[in-house]
Amino acid sequence: MKNTKLNDGIEIPAIGFGTFLIPSDGSTYTAVREALEIGYRHIDTATAYENEEEVGKAVRDSGIPREEIFITSKLWLSQFDNPQKGVERSLKKLGMDYIDLYLIHQPYFDVLKAWEGLEAAKADGKLRSIGVSNMSPKMWKSFIPQFETLPSVNQIECNPLAQQKEIRSLMARDNVKVECWGPLGQGNQALLTNEAILQIGEKYGKNAGQVILRFETQDGMIVLPKSVHPERIKSNLEIFDFTLTEDEMNIIRALDTNKPSRDPDAPGRGEYLSKKFNITD
The residue type at 200: I
Helix segments in 68-109, DSSP class H: 83-94
* Shortest distance (Å) from residue 50 CB to ligand NDP: 13
* Shortest distance (Å) from residue 196 CB to ligand NDP: 16
Verify whether residue 98 is a known catalytic residue.
Answer: no
Nearer to ligand NDP, 133 or 164 (CB): 133
Q: Which residue among the candidates 40, 49, 98, 108 is catalytic per the annotation?
A: 49
* Cβ-based neighbours of 272, under 8 Å, separated by 6 or more: none
Nearer to ligand NDP, 96 or 211 (CB): 211
Helix (H) or strand (E) holding 189: helix 189-192
Question: Which residues is 54 bridged to in the sheet?
Answer: none
* Shortest distance (Å) from residue 182 CB to ligand NDP: 4
**Sign of the CA dihedral 163, 164, 170, 171?**
negative
Q: Looking at beta carbons, which residue is closest to ligand NDP?
A: 18
Question: Residue numbers of the site for ligand NDP (CB under 6 A)?
Answer: 18-20, 44, 105, 133-134, 155, 181-187, 192, 209, 224-229, 232, 235-236
Burial class (CB in 10 A: 0-12, 13-18, 19+), 8: middle
Instruction: Determine the distance from the C-alpha atom of residue 43 to the mean position of all C-alpha atoms in its chain, rounded to a whole number.
Output: 9
Nearer to ligand NDP, 56 or 182 (CB): 182
Nearer to ligand NDP, 91 or 212 (CB): 212
* Shortest distance (Å) from residue 235 CB to ligand NDP: 6
Write out the catalytic residue numbers. 49
